[in-house]
Structure 1
């Protein structure tokens, strides 16, 4: 058994992988079983900020262990990766806020969607990182393709227009498809993803999906789309699979807490997307300049500093430009009438 623990898997001993996943399992179990037993309780901004600080502290402590045990180079790469992934996840938060608002998901049900969405995201990110690691280690020129994609994605983000309108149109198409091919209710059934209702044709009780289930699918779909940007970005910083995976997962763990902290002020971060676009372009150029043409060697700490400066600049500038703006609601209040996706589709086509 001891020999097995010291066997190398993806460049690191098995015990390092098992230990990391044990920590993640304990955190998820605490979150699911202890912190949120009361499903009806809403997560406020104060609690959200505390949870965000908690997960960020754990991520930094783990980075300190990586620095001490693996080495300063790996430690710098981990911290740079954590900051980049956390930065890019902020854009994901705003998309999730649009999804919840569109489907009329009340605040006290949103944490359930986010929790299961994070569990699915951990699995999906693991698969995508495994695939990316296999490609990079088989052919290093794949990094150049990653770089070109990141530069393209950053430029596209800079020149894109009103993305919220496009996201609503995508949600329209998705909900229309779901309602055409599956049984979906117009209203929620507590915090259940499914419910039993009579079949319109036979009258017998059958299984129906609720809007909460559609929100879960859309949130997971959004995470996959964002992973297409974030996974190449982290491989642009380091090709150490362990560092890539652990920094990515720690960034995802804090996403649910970060959502409730940021979504209440979603309109205050109007210029954050510009900062995220510049981060993607910088990371892409890092590969082209340093790795492909070997012109300048860019150390991981430089990538970390540039990312922090761009992110902080985007946040501070956004808050300054939108000072005095009223806070935007995250979702339709539970007591208010929320237009259902079916009603919205009907009015848009009427």
Structure 2
């Protein structure tokens, strides 16, 4: 499998999952989970990662965030950043720092992260595994703006003088409340979603947790990051905890343009490139690399000081200098 195939299958722009695929993902996740010893606590992300980047958000939403759909109740809408698709603007590279997650929840030792393509980073706070699989998790999501729309099951609520909406969701099989979701304005202009699952699925517990949220930026588990990024582009998705492959992507909110960096613990075999037009040798950070031009992308293939390798993929409207500069800004995280 070459890297275009890899991104098509597992990357942020992979095809949406069907209901059958969602069920398969849940089954696969459950098969990967063996009941942990009582003295050990597991994080959710290492188990979810076996499904691949395209399924991470789906599994987090299906297993960790909310129960199966109730016949009379729909799951809350997926939280994504919306952008108006338009004509590409000029590319300008600016200094970039590694994306971070902004919050902490006191009392939780385990936390993992995931993100929908173009959406905010979701924090999944544990303990995340029990005898029946992922449960009792708390999902905390910073929203880019005030959520729009409403559902018939939600009601307005006051959270320490701030407006919010709260809703309970029942398990489709048992009829018991399996999740409680609160959207509220934590600070002026700062909207946040928090979801309590399992034993934490009560309004009192979710409100208690909401009041305990702390502003504390947390490092995400990327293998590599970029020191430069196109001005105005946002984190498009990531898969960061695999020992063999790690992906971080940025996207232009106004167009379909995307930038991907794939990290390999072991350099992959050269499988060829679809639409290959030209290939040349370049130097990136005093190390030899290959600059590849295809009909749709620029690709830089190089190595890092620790022996790992990377492949950077950028749209063709980038200049060759910009592509090489981006590759030169790749850093071990």
Q: TM class by shorter-chain length?
A: under 0.3
Higher helix share: 1
Higher strand share: 2
TM-score where L is the length of structure 1 = 0.24
TM-score where L is the length of structure 2 = 0.25
Higher relative contact order (CA 8 A, sep 6+): 1
